[in-house]
Amino acid sequence: MALNLKTLVNHAPLSSSRQLFHGVSPKPTSISFSHSSSSLQGFGTQIATQRKEPLSNQQTAAVRHLTGSLITNEGLRFVVVVARFNEIVTRPLLEGALATFKRYSVKEEDVDVVWVPGSFEIGVVADRLGKSRKYHAVICIGAVIRGDTTHYDAVANSAASGVLSASLSSGVPCIFGVLTCENMEQAMDRAGGKSGNKGAEAALTAIEMASLFEHHLK
């Protein structure tokens, strides 16, 4: 810190009264105190006067956000694997998926449907279709409803792990659209009832994931 003091002191000695009487003002005497130092040593601390630029003002690299599009789907092809078991549920799910594809301008010739006996068989078929490189996404539709035995748990777990394995093995998004419900009422509610249509939701997911892979993750 620099101290620079300059003080003007007006001295009016006795002899100057004569000058005042004759209309002559005495000249001010200039007394200058100058002391320059970059720091104060009194308490062993140094006071810095230079301020650094805030971190918020420093330039940073731009962050890229990658996402799939629901409208950029030209040239994308899809396949729907549908379990025939509990068809009263799976068919409305399929219809919801196909209606969504149409709503988002996916051409009919770009969508194939493959039927399998039940949800347990979905995984192996999805894996084969993904590895065929004909499709940009595979939708897996089924319905597993709890009964009186533990068969429900075995099929539900196998269906979920099978679809995941197919997706990881083939490198093609395989969308899980298999309902696992406690009763038929819950299943129907999710197949176009009061809880919406999970087949339609699966189609939306398939379009977005196919677009993401095709345009950003190739």
Alpha-carbon dihedral 95, 82, 123, 159, rounded to 10 degrees: 80
C-beta atoms surrounding 112 within 10 Å: 14
* Nearest C-alpha neighbor of 116 from the set 152, 80, 148: 80
* Nearest C-alpha neighbor of 93 from the set 172, 196, 184, 173: 196
Bridge partners, residue 145, by sequence: 181
To which H or E segment does residue 161 belong? helix 151-170
Opening angle at CA 213, ends 210 and 214, nearest 5: 80
Token pair for 139: 């939708």
> Could you confirm whether 151 is annotated as catalytic?
yes
Going by C-beta distance under 8 Å and a sequence separation of 6 or more, which residues neighbour residue 55? none
DSSP 8-state code for residue 61: P
CA pseudo-torsion sign 125, 130, 134, 140? positive
Q: Which of 22, 35, 65, 151 is catalytic?
A: 151
The three-class DSSP label of residue 190 is: coil
Catalytic residues: 151
